[in-house]
Amino acid sequence: MTDRLATLLPRPRSARGLTGTFTFTERTSIVAGPGADGSTDLVRRALSFLRLPLPQRGTPELGSVVVTLDPAAHGPEGYQLLVRPDRLDIVAGSTAGATYAVSTLRQLLPEVAWRAAAARGTVWELACCEVTDAPATDWRGVMLDVSRHFLPKREVLRMIDLLAMHKLNRLHLHLADDQGWRIESARYPQLTELASHRPHTALGHGAEHSGHDGTPHGGYYTRADLAEIGAYAQERAVTVVPELDVPGHASALLAALPELGSVPGGKYEVQTTWGVFPNLLSPLPAVEQVVDELLGELLEVLPSPFVHLGGDECPLGQWEDNPEIQAYRESRGLPNMAALHGDFLRRLADRLAGRGVRAVFWDEAFGSGGLRPDSIVMAWRGDEVARKAAAAGFQVVRTPVFPTYLDYYSDDDPREPLAIGGPVRLADVAALDPRPAAFTEAENANVIGVQAQLWSEYLPHARLLDYRAFPRVCALAEVAWTGAPSTWPEEPERVRAQLSRLDAAGVEYRPLGDPKPWQRGGTGARAFRSGYPMAEVTRALDELAAEDNPEGLQPSS
């Protein structure tokens, strides 16, 4: 039984077996040790899968779970789990650390602990042990694109559970893009009336034209849903980072509020195909004001220390063609439209800062220059841009297409269901070094973490999301937690253990060998096509990033 210790994922800093066992029973109680007042509730909730009463007691008795908070001992997200025959101690740096301690404990129990209910009479016996653990990075994320294909709230909540299972602490929700706006607005009801659905969706790979499916698609989260998602995540030590992608990827927003556009009198539609569209929000102050209002509304229900403002893939033609925008650029003394792009994002970030919120951007925003120094840069166009942003002093989350874009094929196999390109194999994800030796120490000090992306052009529903996400997210979680490449895929016992936990949790992951017959692309609308080859994608993005204006890249004061 002690060998379960060797199967923990992510691998803890240290773990050793001790003699004896601890058993959770009807009589097991929970005790708040020093500093732990609020966290015993949290630990009780996290242990609810045991279906035991777990009464709270004032002093430890035989068989108690004792929770102590001590930020000095294990760092903000660290914990120690000490399991002895007569007592189980959780000493954590914070409520997050206590949550991770329970997650570790759950992995040490039989897999049935990951089912929604265990058979009556299940014996919850743990081998005694001591685990001391803390993450090596602060930002351990997964991004869900709920715009291209909407993901029902229940699936988002389930994904939060799966993040927590892997000690991932950021759920980045890409809530708006050209193909759909997913946020209820009290002030602008037309957003959900007009922008939250489309009449049909392109079939096949975006690089080809193979018609559409003739089926409407849509959905949105009500304000109450967003509040629920935020609260559910918080209970599991996950911070939801909402994204409103501006000024590009904004066709859906513009379909509802065309007056925010850069083309006077322009008409816009929610897009039904994939790619980069010319439609940009106008960078004028009146538009900044409306975006700020939308952000304010969103933060009322989904408070977060971080908001992502996108900034990616903005062809600036519509701004160039608009005399009012040209005049505005000149009035601000900005040399070109790229600088105005940076300036628009900067003004929005300043407004967020007024609310105590830090802005996060895709790396093109950094490429345009002029960002606030406290902005966080998600470097998706490769390692060079990650280095440059880190060298310029920005905190950077590494999100390179290779190997963190899990919307790409898992394998180069014609049985795979249609994806954008690739492949990004499990071994590639595991080999990611968050802080590579090629980066300077100063650059690496600014790398705050890594994140997996699940763009959903080719992820129409939650079953396929499971298939693309897992087990690649398992490897990413280990990389993020340990701050180093992971050997997990080459450790058969650990792989087997984690896949059985996923099975118990009902996750339809991609098996390590072949996809199951019903997971394949078949010959119809989702048949495999090779798509964009990975080497070409990474080369093209590196080249794009190299064209960024080198003078603009220092943070502005």
Q: Which residues are catalytic?
A: 177, 249, 313
Strands (E), 357-497: 358-362, 376-379, 395-398, 421-422, 447-454
Nearest-approach distance from CB 540 to ligand TNX, in angstroms: 11
CA 200 to CA 197: how far, in whole Å?
Answer: 9
- Residues found in the chain: 557
Smallest gap from Cβ 7 to ligand TNX, in A, equals 32
Q: Which is nearer to ligand TNX, 126 or 345 (CB)?
A: 345
Taking the complex as a whole, how short is the minimal distance between the CB of residue 10 and ligand TNX, in angstroms? 25
Determine contact, residues 231/158, Cβ cutoff 8 Å. Answer: no
Alpha-carbon distance 4 to 508, whole Å? 23
Is residue 128 within 8 A of residue 136, CB to CB? The reply is: no
To which H or E segment does residue 537 belong? Answer: helix 534-546
- Angstrom CA distances, 411 to 262, 432, 466, 510, 528, stand at 41, 17, 15, 10, 11
Q: Specify the residue, 228 or 312, whose C-beta has the smaller distance to ligand TNX.
A: 312
Least gap, CB of 378 to ligand TNX (angstroms): 8
Calpha distance 412→416 (Å, rounded): 8
For the CB of residue 452, give the shortest distance to ligand TNX in the complex, in Å.
Answer: 12
Q: Which residues bind ligand TNX (CB under 6 A)?
A: 312-313, 362, 380, 405, 407, 420, 455, 457
User: Could you report how far apart the first and last alpha carbons of the chain are, in Å?
Assistant: 57
User: Rounded to 5 degrees, what are φ and ψ at 198?
Assistant: -135, 155
Residue closer to ligand TNX, measured from CB, 118 or 424: 424
Residue with Cβ nearer ligand TNX (22 or 455): 455
The CA-based diameter of the chain, rounded to the nearest angstrom, is: 77
Report the residue number, 97 or 423, with the smaller CB distance to ligand TNX.
423
243 or 297, CB closer to ligand TNX?
A: 243
CB proximity list for 79: less than 8 A, separation 6 or greater: 90, 91, 92, 93, 97, 98, 100, 101, 104, 131, 132, 133, 134
Closest CA to 48 of 202, 253, 235, 191: 235
Beta carbon of residue 312, minimum distance to ligand TNX (angstroms, whole number)? 3
Q: Which is nearer to ligand TNX, 432 or 499 (CB)?
A: 432
Smallest gap from Cβ 59 to ligand TNX, in A, equals 54
**Residue among 292 and 312 whose Cβ is closer to ligand TNX:** 312
Q: How far is the CB of 536 from ligand TNX (least distance, A)?
A: 13
Sign of the Cα torsion 384, 390, 394, 395 reads positive
d(CA 377, CA 368): 12
Tokens 């019903």 belong to which residue? 518
Closest CA to 312 of 268, 406, 358, 377: 377
**Residue 83 and residue 88: Cα distance in Å, rounded?**
5
